Structure formats: C-alpha cells, structure tokens
Amino acid sequence: MYSFKNDYSEGAHPRILNALIESNLVQEDGYGEDSYSLKAIELLKQKIGRTDVDIHLLTGGTQTNLTALSAFLRPHEAAIAASTGHILTHETGAIEATGHKIISIEVDDGKLNPSHIKSVLDAHTDEHMVKPKLVYLSNTTEIGTIYKQNELEQLRDFCQVNNLILFMDGARLGSALSSTGNDLTLSDLPILVDAFYIGGTKNGALIGEALVICRDSLKEDFRFHMKQKGALLAKGRLLGVQFHELFRDNLYFDLAIHANRMADLLRDEITKAGFAFLTQSLSNQIFPILPNSLITELQRNYSFYIWEKIDSDHAAIRLVTSWATKEDEVLAFIAEMNRNL
C-alpha cells in the first residue's frame, strides 16, 4: 500500500538526519539560543533579503498559527479566513480555544480577496460584535491553489487602509513558491504580508516552521507568548539544525520542485485519461474527480483521501506528493488507473 494521503508520511531528508547526528553531542544553549538556531535565523534573513524581521522557530503549523494569532490579537478581536482555511477545518478549534473567533467566508478557490473582507467589515459595525482584525491566508491553500503577486498586493493595500493584520500560513510555502504558476519570491513576502511562516514539516524536515514577523508592532514579547503556549522548545537546536541544512543551499526548493513535478505527472496523465478536477491546483495537491468504481480499484494498492462526493457515481479524491515521492510509484499508480478504465 503506497500512500498519497499527505506530504509528511516519510521522516526527513537524509541530509537533515546526517546533520542532526553530526551535531548530536555538541553542547548548546537551550530554547532557541543555540548556535545552530542563531545561524539558521541569520541565513533565513539573508534568503529573505531583510535584516529587520524577527524569526522564530516553532515545531508545527497548528502550534505556529495559535501562538501567532493569539499573540497578535487582543481579546475582542477576530480572524477572517476562507471556509477551507486550516485554522477553521483542521485545528480542532485551536484558535477559538485561545479566545478568538474565526469569521468564515465561503469561497470557491480557497482564496480571499478584498471584497470578501469588506463584506465582513460591513457586517461588524460596533462593540456588540467581535472586531475583525486579522486576515488569515494559506499559500498554498488547503485545496492546492496559490496566490499571485497582484492578489497579495490588493490584499495588502486593503488591509493597510483598514488597519488589518495580514498573516500567511506557509505550511506548504515551498510548493507554492516552486509552482509553475507562481510569480512570487521569498523576498517579496515581507513587503506583502505582516507575518508568515516557512513550512519545514511538509518539505523535508522532521518537524519545524520558521515564523517571520515583519510588522514591528507584532514583535514585542513574542518569546513570552511562545513559552506560555508550550512552543519554546528546550532542545531548540533540533529546529535550528534542520533549517540551516534546508537553506544553506537550494535543498528546500529542490525538494518542493520534486514534489510539484510528481504532482504534475499525475495531473497530466489523469487529464489525458479524460477526468476533470475539483480545483485548478498547480501545487503538490491535486483533486481529480473519478468514478467510484475506479476509486475502489485504486484503493486496493494506494491510500488517499476521498475529499468530496460529487454525485452518486463520482467523488473527488486528494492526491498529495512529497519531497520523497518515488517516480516509480507515480507511474505505477497511473498504470493501475489506465488498466481499470
């Protein structure tokens, strides 16, 4: 049984494991003040092209989202998110558990635009309601779509005029920035959003997300918030070693390019077979619409999620490729699909 369920089924890239082994017995300070974390942060600042950002290393996406959003928001303030957003659908109410409401907006492509946000502001008029304050994006989105530069520019301008915080979940940022449809670079992001994170867990690391805080007013006391939320890792070196290894050359993006290329191969062959897709994804997640009978046959040898029922005879499935997806397995899946047409 080969898995296309997610991009974290495997452990970590061998280079990362080797780097962890080589540094294992070196004594270091704790809580992210070790030499590896400090070097990784300086390296990330170089890659981003900004020395005026604050960077914090955390262990996972949900932890990063809840720590950041609860730190950035006052008790009466709320976040705005697309209905498919990770903080709404796959974080067990983590944001709400910190006391902050999430205002959900129904969208077709997983992406927010200024008109969506304006409708929320227009509906929340006084102190009898929560105050919308933070706009939550993910790139890629939960349904595999990506934000283009002009879309983020429009959102940034709207948020600045309306004094809103623009936050980007980057759990799959590597896939987004390596997509054939992408026109953004890592160095564009501090200009476009107030905070974002670079996801490592889903792109070759064992664990780890690098939160980049660009807006000065959001930086104060952030390590206090991390400690209070259990996000200040005693052996923070584990995160520093990994991010330094991912970014000391082009490994981070090489891994994302591979994941996207495997998804492209699946997408192209599924299209040739005559099937449509639920979303127009250019990333490492694809959502083909297949007959139920074919899905049943494919499930004999492959694991994946059935994402959405389309009608009595068809459903959309989610196929996710990773930095470690084997091309032979992709080709075998395609062959199995074609045999059962």
Domain finish residue from 247, 277, 294:
247
Query: Residue 318's domain spans which residues?
Result: 2-7+251-339
Spatial distance between the Cα atoms of 61 and 72, rounded to a whole number of angstroms: 16
Question: Are residues 307 and 186 located together in one domain of the fold?
Answer: no
pLDDT at 305: 97
Spatial distance between the Cα atoms of 120 and 327, rounded to a whole number of angstroms: 45
Question: Are residues 168 and 262 located together in one domain of the fold?
Answer: no
Domain finish residue from 219, 247, 275:
247
Question: Are residues 235 and 256 located together in one domain of the fold?
Answer: no
Question: Are residues 319 and 176 located together in one domain of the fold?
Answer: no
* Cβ neighbours of 298 (radius 10 Å): 19
pLDDT at 333: 98
Contact 92, 86 (CB under 8 A): no
Report the CATH number that the domain containing residue 328 is assigned in CATH: 3.90.1150.10
Question: Are residues 149 and 282 located together in one domain of the fold?
Answer: no
Question: Are residues 65 and 183 located together in one domain of the fold?
Answer: yes
Domain finish residue from 192, 224, 247:
247
Nearest to 190 by CA among 225, 163, 219: 219
Q: What value does the CA radius of gyration of the chain take, rounded to a whole number of Å?
A: 20
pLDDT at 241: 98
Q: Mean pLDDT in runs of 10 for the chain (341 residues)?
A: 96 98 98 98 98 98 98 98 96 96 96 98 97 98 97 98 98 97 98 98 98 98 98 98 98 98 98 96 97 98 97 98 98 97 90
Q: What is the pLDDT of residues 305-322, one digit of tens each?
A: 999 999 999 999 999 999
Q: What is the pLDDT of residues 39-67, one digit of tens each?
A: 999 999 999 999 999 999 999 999 999 99
**What domain count does the chain have?**
2
Question: Are residues 197 and 291 located together in one domain of the fold?
Answer: no
Question: Are residues 78 and 210 located together in one domain of the fold?
Answer: yes
Spatial distance between the Cα atoms of 317 and 315, rounded to a whole number of angstroms: 6
Calculate the average pLDDT of the chain: 97
Report the CATH number that the domain containing residue 93 is assigned in CATH: 3.40.640.10
Question: Are residues 238 and 274 located together in one domain of the fold?
Answer: no
Place of tokens 């919308």: 132
Question: Are residues 174 and 57 located together in one domain of the fold?
Answer: yes
Question: Are residues 141 and 272 located together in one domain of the fold?
Answer: no
